[in-house]
Structure 1
Amino acid sequence: MKQWYEELFTNYVDKYEKESFTQGTMGEVDFIESEINHDKNCKILDVGCGTGRHTIELTKRGYSVTGVDLSQNMLEKARENASNAGFEIDFRQADARDLPFKGEFDLVIMLCEGGFPLMETDQMNFQILESAARSLNDKGKLIFTTLNGLFPLFHSVKDFINANSKSQTNSGNTFDLMTFRDKYRFETEDDDGNKLILNCNERYYVPSEITWLLKSLGFNEIGIYGCKLGEFSKNDVLTVEDYEMLVITEY
């Protein structure tokens, strides 16, 4: 049985690229470049690369980037986008929990909930962090965004999503204070105009959890910040107003 995120990205590629949350690529890549000091020798892995927006932009700027995603349809679009931009990029289908790399990369990025924290169990989500850590060399850095568990304590996730999405509707949201999981009914149309209804389940994390998980993987330097679309910055202190958090960690 397919999970909701697998069903969603079977035929939701063109719609995905038009969503508001995919429009901040340039500013996000500017930030990534600053975090690696514009070092063109930096080897980068983009986990949950989707249609390749960060992978392709980083490649345009002269970096060696590998993109992985679970969805074959997303990867086909990524390859098409790369070809249209004049690049041949190493895009691979892989499960983020079991990446085929060991110590190969200087930087791993996981942005816009490309895998973590969509898994059905906390253990599965942790396996994604483990796999990303395993892909890094001993001086590597991990940059990812994830859902901020402080946000739903003070705000309606349903209202936030419905106000910020062009083509999807959330309803029946139930945020569980014991598990920090939000379960909801997701309605949209796929790329062919067919109605798509999914029962979704997403995990929100609080900063202390993220810190503990990363320290258990051997990371020493851990920074957690507010996350603004297309405007990542270490100057943004995480607050209850941030739907996502930006995490930057290294050994």
Structure 2
Amino acid sequence: MKQWYEELFLNYAEKYENEIYTHGTIGEVDFLEKEINKDKNFKILDIGCGTGRHAIELAKRGYNVTGIDLSPSMLEKAKENAKKADVNIDFNVADARNPHFEDEFDLVIMICEGGFSLMETDEMNFQILENASRALKKGGKLIFTTLNGLYPLFHSVKDFINSNAVEGVNEGNSFDLMTFRDKSTFEFEDDDGNLKVLNCNERYYVPSEITWLLKTLNFNKIDIYSCKLGNFSRDEDLTTEDYEMLVIAEF
């Protein structure tokens, strides 16, 4: 039986690219470049690359990029987009929970919940972090975004359920304060116009949890900031009003 995130991306590549949260690519890649001092020798791994928006923009700027994703259809669109952009990227269907690389990359990115936090157990989410760290060379950097547990914790559960933070989520939403998991129903149309309903299950994390998980993986410098669409910055402190957080970890 397929999980909800597998069902979602079976046939959603075209509509995915029109989602508002995909429109901040240029500013986000500007930030990534700044974080690696625009060193074109850096090898970059994009985990959960989707249709390739960050990978392609980085490749256009001269970086060596590899992209992996669980969805064959999203990767087909990524390859199509890369061809149109006239860039060469190694795109591969791969499950981020399984080890694929070791000491190969200078930078690993997981932007816009690229797998992490979507998994059905905390152990699976940790496996993704573990394999991301394994893929890094000594001295490498991991940059990712994830759901900010301070948001639903600070707001009342009722307000969180009734908020418009996530389009398509209906009244079936329920946030569990014991597990920090948000279970919701998501209604959408796939690329063929078929109406589908998914039972989603996402994990929110608080900064102290993320810090502990990354320290367990031997990262010694961990910074967490507010995550603003298209405007990643080290100048924006994380608040209870931020739906996502930006995490930067270094060995």
TM (norm. structure 2) is 0.96
Q: CA deviation at 1:220?
A: 0.3
Shift of 1:100: 1.1
CA distance in 1, matches of 2:161, 2:204: 11
The 3-state SS of whatever aligns with 1:26 is helix
Q: 2 CA distance for matches of 1:225 and 1:157?
A: 24
Partner SS state of residue 41, structure 2: coil
CA deviation digits over 1:75-120, x for unaligned, max 9? 0000000001112310001001113100000000000001001000
Partner of 1:195: 195
In 1: Cα distance, 2:163 partner to 2:55 partner: 31
State the partner residue of 2:130: 130
Which residue of structure 1 aligns with residue 249 of structure 2?
249
What is the SS of the residue equivalent to 2:115?
Answer: coil
Which of 157, 160, 164 is the equivalent residue of 1:156?
Answer: 160
The gaps in structure 2 that reach 5 residues or longer are none
Equivalent residue, structure 2, for 1:174:
174
Letter in structure 2 aligned against 1:159: S
Aligned residue in 2 for 1:16: 16
Which residue of structure 1 lines up, in the alignment, with residue 59 of structure 2? 59
The amino acid that maps onto 2:151 is F
CA distance in 2, matches of 1:137, 1:78: 26
Residue 169 of structure 1 and its aligned partner are, at CA, apart by 4.0
Counterpart in the other structure of 2:43: 43
**Sequence identity of aligned pairs in percent?**
70
Matched, 1:218 2:215: no
Q: Report how far residue 170 of structure 1 moved.
A: 3.3
- The residue number in structure 1 matching 2:207 is 207
Change (3 A) 1:84 1:157: farther
Is the CA contact 1:79–1:88 (under 8 Å) kept in the aligned structure 2?
no
Counterpart Cα distance in 2 of 1:161 and 1:14: 22
Query: 2:59·2:88 contact (CA, 8 Å) conserved in 1?
Result: no
Does the aligned pair in 2 maintain the 1:182–1:204 contact within 8 Å?
Answer: yes
Distance 2:99 2:61 in 1: 25
Contact 2:161 2:171 in 1 (8 A): no
How far apart, CA to CA, are the structure 2 residues paired with 1:34 and 1:170?
A: 39
Alpha-carbon distance between aligned partners in 1 of 2:63 and 2:230, rounded to the nearest angstrom = 20
CA contact (8 A) 2:186 2:199 kept: yes
Contact 2:46 2:110 in 1 (8 A): yes
Q: Distance in 2 between matches of 1:87 and 1:206?
A: 37
- Match in the other structure for 1:118: 118
SS at match of 1:234: coil
Alpha-carbon separation, structure 2, partners of 1:198 and 1:224:
31
Give CA-to-partner distance per residue, 1:177-233, whole Å, 9 cap, x none.
Answer: 000000011101111111010000000000000000000000000000000000000
